[in-house]
């Protein structure tokens, strides 16, 4: 099976605009941004969706969220607000089967999205 695109970005085999990196996470700019700030935060280890997480992954799940908050703060989004989104499955809009947290900000975001 071919490597997924986010695994390729995380391993730097596929070029991307990397925004920040930690030991087991990488954040990069979305190629189809839905807001002035639109980063994707992914684990370097392949996990297809939230449905594939177990209690053993609780620390990783927490680090993904906290990395999103850290990035939002570093981009000065905390005062006006930002959105963190995890889509799971096709009906939710997950198109790449590798867990990814969207960090969106820089403008007023409508609800519901879409």
Catalytic residues: 100
- Spell out the residues 6+ positions from residue 104 whose beta carbon is closer than 8 angstroms to its own: 34, 35, 37, 38, 82, 83, 84, 85
């Amino acid at each position: 099976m071919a490597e997924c695109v986010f695994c390729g970005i995380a391993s730097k085999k596929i070029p991307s605009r990397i925004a920040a990196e930690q030991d087991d996470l990488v954040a990069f700019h979305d190629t189809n941004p839905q807001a002035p700030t639109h980063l994707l935060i992914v684990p370097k280890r392949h996990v297809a969706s939230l449905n594939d997480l177990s209690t053993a992954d609780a620390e990783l799940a927490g680090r993904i969220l906290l990395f999103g908050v850290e990035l939002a703060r570093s981009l000065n989004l905390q005062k006006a607000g930002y959105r963190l989104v995890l889509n799971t499955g096709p009906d939710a809009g997950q198109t790449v089967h590798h867990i990814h947290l969207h960090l969106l900000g820089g403008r007023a975001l409508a609800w519901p999205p879409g």
